[in-house]
């Protein structure tokens, strides 16, 4: 399996890698222009970062998973560098804001999972009781 992976990575010809890289750079450049236009004062969209997601999906469909991953990382860096405060820096102005979104998403997911689980408990308990009854009422083998 590892040999196969090495063969696949080593077997990628330079032309396909250059094509994937060029496609990714072209897509990122176009997406940056569109985001810049959407976030301009005349249009005023606050967060147009989803434009980059479209580019990642298109590059992934055209050039494969590796190119899509590279495009996703570069899209994150480009958006963070060009469109978030402080601009032209990869520093985060307010670390609390950077942590707040994922935490609140996690909390929402946990709450939803808890609610779903709470609804499923009565059904699960009933199923367990039925299985116990079935096991208790079975006659031992050979009788």
Predicted confidence (pLDDT) per residue in 14-64, tens digit: 788 889 999 999 999 999 999 999 999 898 888 888 999 999 999 999 988
- How many independent structural domains does the chain possess? 2
User: Which range, 80-84, 101-105, 113-117, has the best average confidence (pLDDT)?
Assistant: 80-84
pTM (2 d.p.):
0.58
Q: Does one domain contain both 72 and 124? A: no
**CA–CA dist 26, 19 (Å, integer):** 10
Q: Does one domain contain both 87 and 111? A: no
Q: Does one domain contain both 137 and 116? A: yes
Q: Are 27 and 58 in contact (CB under 8 A)?
A: yes
Q: How far is CA 51 from CA 15, 48, 73, in A?
A: 27, 6, 14
Q: What is the pLDDT of residues 58-99, one digit of tens each?
A: 999 998 888 999 999 999 999 989 988 888 888 767 665 555
**CA–CA dist 43, 93 (Å, integer):** 25
Q: Does one domain contain both 52 and 83? A: yes
Q: Does one domain contain both 26 and 87? A: yes
Q: What is the pLDDT of residues 116-136, one digit of tens each?
A: 655 555 566 677 777 777 777
Q: Does one domain contain both 123 and 75? A: no
Q: Does one domain contain both 103 and 85? A: no
Give the range of the structural domain holding residue 119, as residue numbers without chain letter.
95-143
Q: Does one domain contain both 29 and 10? A: yes
**CA–CA dist 86, 94 (Å, integer):** 10
DSSP H/E element including 26: helix 14-38
Q: Does one domain contain both 88 and 104? A: no
Q: Does one domain contain both 132 and 68? A: no
């Amino acid at each position: 399996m590892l040999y196969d992976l090495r063969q696949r990575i080593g077997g990628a010809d330079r032309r396909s890698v250059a094509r994937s890289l060029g496609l990714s750079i072209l897509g990122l450049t176009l997406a940056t222009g569109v985001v810049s236009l959407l976030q301009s004062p005349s249009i005023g969209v606050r967060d147009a970062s989803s434009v980059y997601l479209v580019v990642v999906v298109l590059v992934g469909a055209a050039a494969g998973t590796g190119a899509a991953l590279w495009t996703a990382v570069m899209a994150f860096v480009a958006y963070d560098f060009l469109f978030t405060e402080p601009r032209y820096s990869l520093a985060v102005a307010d670390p609390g804001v950077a942590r707040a979104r994922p935490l609140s998403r996690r909390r929402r997911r946990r709450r939803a999972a808890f609610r779903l689980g709470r609804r499923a408990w009565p059904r699960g308990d009933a199923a367990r009781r039925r299985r116990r009854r079935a096991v208790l009422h079975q006659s031992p083998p050979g009788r």
